[in-house]
Structure 1
Amino acid sequence: MSETSASKPPKLSKKAYEKELLRLQAELVSMQEWVVQTGSRLVVIMEGRDAAGKGSAIKRITQYLNPRTCRIEALPKPTEREQGQWYFQRYVEKLPSAGEIVIFDRSWYNRAGVERVMGFCTSQEYRRFLHQAPIFERLLVEDGIMLRKYWFSVSDEEQYRRFESRRQDPLRQWKLSPMDLESITKWEEYSRAKDEMFLHTDIPSAPWYTVESEDKKRSRINVISHLLSTVPYEHLEPQLPEIPERPEPSGYERPPREEFRYVPDAAAQLEERKVEPKKAAKKDAKKGKKKKD
């Protein structure tokens, strides 16, 4: 199904979605424990259109994972020094060590997408990337790294709707950038770039997996489920530490509370707001009863 003609699937019920998401997140915790105990290395690449749902999927994947052994890498624009390096060099520095998971929120494929479409790289640099990326990824896989590549696919209509939603939401307005909005006017150029990228980099040892993302909830369930199905993890008993017995008091006395600065109890106002309407409702109910009497 093409991104421009993708039909919107029926929405998942909230109850079914939340139940399955929690189950899958528990499996992700088990997977991470297996990665840590076996010294495995996992790299997950998340690519796709702007507003396709990559970020929200990453949040659900990492929500309950230990941040000490699971990192999200979203590299900014390369520095002047990095521009003088081999293109893949700054990404190599972010690869996982034994027992680690690294999720790239966009990756070295920036060169095949935004850099190509927006003219931030030369044709020679672009062609060199298409030649080197499969070689680079084969080397990673040969060295034992599990590499998973996901492309989040969304239609132009749904992307536009999400941009409008972000524009109206003060909590998400920061997600809108001039570069994002350029993707509206350059939809076909991005489509051609994606097709060319797949043609050169969809290799047997590191294939691309497309995630239909018209419905974000559905896409989160699908990508997590697929990721789990491709990692040969086993359910291992976590190495839990023993909780020691608390020792008997030894005469310690806490200093008076007045000697410390405490954060004001702003939450108490929430309780007051709940109580006031209840009081008002009771008064109204009493008044109504008296009138009837």
Structure 2
Amino acid sequence: MAFYFQTLQKDLINDVDIALQSNPLPSPIVNAPVFGRDTQFSPHLAIVMTDYGFDVEQVCLPWRYFTDRGFMVEFVFPKPIDPPRVAKPDPSYTTGWKGTLMGPSKDTMDIYSILCTLDEFIQPKFYKDDNFSFLDFDVVLITGGRNEPMRQMLMDPLLHSKLKPYLTLCKRIDRQKDGPNVSMSKILGTIAQGALPIYINNPGTTLHATTIPVWMERANSWLSPPPNNSSYSYAASLMPTDNYSAGPNYRAVFTIEDEHNYYISGRCNIDILPLSIGLYDLYRRMLQDRKSAMRSQRNNSTSSNHLPQ
């Protein structure tokens, strides 16, 4: 089964992939989403978001990118929606003159319309559930935003505590030192303010990241100020300076990978496709690192067994 946008002559996502990668790696593409029984064999991606006020591009474009590559994508909200309804994006960028000038493309909104028909989106996971664990996922992407619902989620101590066990498993595999029984590591991505849960209430973390710079967040707030927006601290001001990279002082694609963990972060919406590509590449690299570590230790063991006694 393939969605109509997967068979368009002009494929938006794949066109952008080539444009963003000066020397793109060959990667297997699955031409249709993975549903039904086969989902248990697919890698699982969690997109952490709110049920209201989320950024359409930060949710829809990663879903499309990873679904096309055989991932089972699920959505993680803070809690159930009461009364029940479909999750709604930030209206300030989908309606009116701001939506016309700065909002998501028609292709992106078409993807959102399809999401509204999927069980994974209509019946998401909730991190406030007692039995919820991020460890059930292979890749986690935390979206950002400055409006009230997003801010409440990103500053939620429960989200921070639920993420901690996952973060400890994002360490990069050492091909030489890790043993043959090394487990698969977890992969993490954050976009814009989505980096905040990694650092709030966890000052000892060594993860290196970027987030939306103060000047960019201030400009966005001036263009579209949500209620009580003036009381919010800018995301970059809450980041530990030793672990933060601001990037260029103009709007340009900018993502950064942590050297010691399978973690990549981006600043704003124009980074969401490069970030998705980077996340996918980190997942493939982790599998390669694990395979190499297992092979290296196996070869070392074989060599030692053949040493003269």
Verify same fold: TM over 0.5: no
TM-score (norm 2): 0.37
Higher helix proportion, which one? 1
Q: Please tell me whether Structure 1 or Structure 2 has the larger radius of gyration of its CA atoms.
A: 1
TM-score (norm 1): 0.38
Q: Which has the higher contact order (CA 8 A, sep 6+)?
A: 1
